Each structure stands twice: as C-alpha cells, then as structure tokens.
Amino acid sequence: MKINAKSIVQLVLSLGLGIGLVYWFVSQMTQEQIDGTVDSFKKANFFWLALSLGFGFIANFLRTQRWRLMFIPLNYYPRYWNTFFSVNVMFFANLFIPRLGEVSRCGILAKYEGIPVEKSIGTMVVERIIDLICLFILIGLLLIVEYDVISNYFFELFSDKQEVDGPGYHWLIKYGIPLAIVLSITIISFIILRKHGIAQLKRTLRQRLRGLSEGLMSIRHMKSFTQFILLTIGTWLCYFIMIYVAFFSLPETSSLAPFSALACLIFGSFAMIATPGGIGAYPLAIRAVLLLYGINEVVGGALGTMIWGIQTGGVFIAGLISLALLSIMNPPVKIKA
C-alpha cells in the first residue's frame, strides 16, 4: 500500500483524535481520580488480563482458519502459518494507519503464497461484511436483553437535553442530523466525481465489484460451510470472553453480568474503528458502558485502559515476531495465474 497524501491525512486526523481524547481524558481527572486510577492498577490481578490476551490470540487462530477456507473454492491453499502471520501483521499495521493492515495481509499472501492480491482482497471484503453482520446481530441481542438499561440511559440523556435546549433540540435530532448526512454525502460525491471523473469511477466500481463477486463465490462454493460458521461464532465468542474474563482483574467489576461484557464488546469495536488501535477512544467507551452498570468512572476508565494496553502490547509484539518469522521461514514465491 502506498503511503500517499490521503493516507497521511487519515493518519494525522485519526491519531490526532486519539491523542486529543487521551489529553481530554487525563486533563478532566482530579487528583483524587488520578490516585484512584493508580490504585486500580496496583490492585489489578494481571492473571485475568493475561488470560484475556490469550483469548485474543485464540480468536486470531480461528480467524486464520476461517480465511483459509475462503481460498479453497478459488483453488488456492495458503499454508496455515503464513496466513496466521499475515493476520497478526494486519492488526499490527492497523495500529499505525487505518486499513493498512487489510492490504498488508493480502500483500503477504501474494509474496509468500503466490495468491494474486485481487483474489485475496475479494475474500477480505466478504470477511469484513460477515463480521459487520455479526456485530449487528450482537447489537440486536443487546437491545433485547439489556433494553431497560439502555433505554433508561437514553431517556435520561434526552430528557436532560430537552430541559436545557428546549424544543429546538428535538427538531435537530429529527431533521437536522439526517439533513446534514444527506448534504455530506452529496458534497463528497461531487468532489469524487470532479476529481476522478465518471469513467474512472466506473472502472473503480467494476474492480471492487469483481473482487466482491470472487469473494462471494468463495462462500457460495465452500464445501466446509458449517466449519466456516462455527469458526465465525468461535471468533466472536473469544472476543466476548476476552472482555468478560478481564472483569475479574478488579474487585469492583468481578461481579458484573456477562451481558455487560457484550455491551463493552460492541461499543469497544466502534471505538477501535474511530482511532488507530482504539487509542484514547477505547478506554472512554469502556468507561461509558460500565457507568451504565454502576461502576464509577475511575474504575471503568482504569479497566478500559488495562484491556486496551495489554491487547495493544500483544498485537505489537505478535506483529513484529510475525514479520520476522515470515522472512525467516520461507522465501518469496511467484504469483500464481
């Protein structure tokens, strides 16, 4: 992937947002809150955090096998460890530049397994769509089982806003935000058309649709579809357990119900998209969720920081080791036809 001006702007904006959130988060803390955070770190049981990291790696193993299954209908059979290393590098690269990891893992399979990048990109797109569907299923499940907790929170939030801002606030929610979205899409579309032209846009769309169709073919003709579904469920189950076991690292969160971990998983997933590696955003998301379940913001912020820290550290180390092992274990190969 080329590091062009657009990539640099994306990096600066997203990283700036993350650093800004960290600065805001720390600057809002009183000395008492700082002391409470330090105390949470001191009394944390790092066995549970290490176990949380372990489930994160198990999810990567399952994700690797799921991705390998998608290549079989395309008549490609990437070796397990090269595919696993590419998945680790994906998460590692995404710590620095958004979406760099997705292209990087496809490039690794092209270099060491001879799989054309356009083929693996097609499977990657479908894989992301499936994960997005899983996320929406979990959101629906959360709304069903935790409706009282979530509805009470938003009712109180909107009630407070109405008292402060009056009827205009509801007009903004009902009409202003949808209008702003439509205007933004229109402006962005106009800029894209002016920059690339309709012909170039059509070529780009055809390439994307071709890659997507090849990825869909890998699902449609998959002989091990049941295994694919089980691996998908297992991957997301590991993500859930990864957060739930981390609750046991602090006395204040050890008695939380499992569905509170589901809420943390969902909001934490969006936070990981907002900034590179979730810097700044992830601890804030976990803190906000745990407030709904009666955990004070100091403990919630400390737990979110610990989960984010140990997972990010694990991704960083695994990525570096994977890059080294890729070059040591096998030489580059020619891309297959």
DSSP string for 235-266: HHHHHHHHHHHHGGGSTTTTT--HHHHHHHHH
pLDDT at 162: 47
Q: Say if residue 309 is exposed, middle or buried (CB neighbours under 10 Å; 0-12, 13-18, 19+).
A: middle
Alpha-carbon distance of 51 to 55, in angstroms, equals 6
pTM exceeds 0.85: no
pLDDT below 70 — which residues of the chain? 1-35, 98, 150-222, 332-337
Alpha-carbon distance of 149 to 317, in angstroms, equals 38
Contact 105, 89 (CB under 8 A): yes
The percent of residues in the chain predicted with pLDDT above 90, rounded, is 31
pLDDT at 169: 47
DSSP state of 280: T
Please enumerate, as own/partner, the contacts of 49-55 that have beta carbons within 8 Å and a separation of 24 or more: 49/246, 49/249, 49/306, 49/307, 49/310, 50/310, 51/245, 52/242, 52/243, 52/245, 52/246, 52/249, 52/307, 52/310, 52/311, 53/242, 53/310, 53/311, 53/314, 55/238, 55/239, 55/241, 55/242, 55/245
What's the N-to-C CA distance of the chain in angstroms? 22
pLDDT, tens digit, for every residue of 161-193? 444 445 554 555 445 555 665 566 566 555 655
pLDDT at 65: 95
Q: Give the position of tokens 């397990």.
A: 80
pLDDT, tens digit, for every residue of 203-239? 555 655 565 555 555 566 667 788 989 999 999 999 9
Coil, strand or helix: which one is 77?
A: coil
pLDDT at 95: 83
Alpha-carbon distance of 271 to 58, in angstroms, equals 22
Alpha helix locations (H) across 2-116? 5-27, 31-43, 46-71, 80-94, 100-113
Alpha-carbon distance of 233 to 124, in angstroms, equals 17
pLDDT at 161: 47
Contact 123, 110 (CB under 8 A): no
Domain ranges of the chain: 35-329
pLDDT at 298: 87
Alpha-carbon distance of 265 to 139, in angstroms, equals 10
Joined together, the tokens standing for residue 197 give 């032209």
pLDDT at 303: 92
Joined together, the tokens standing for residue 245 give 């076991």
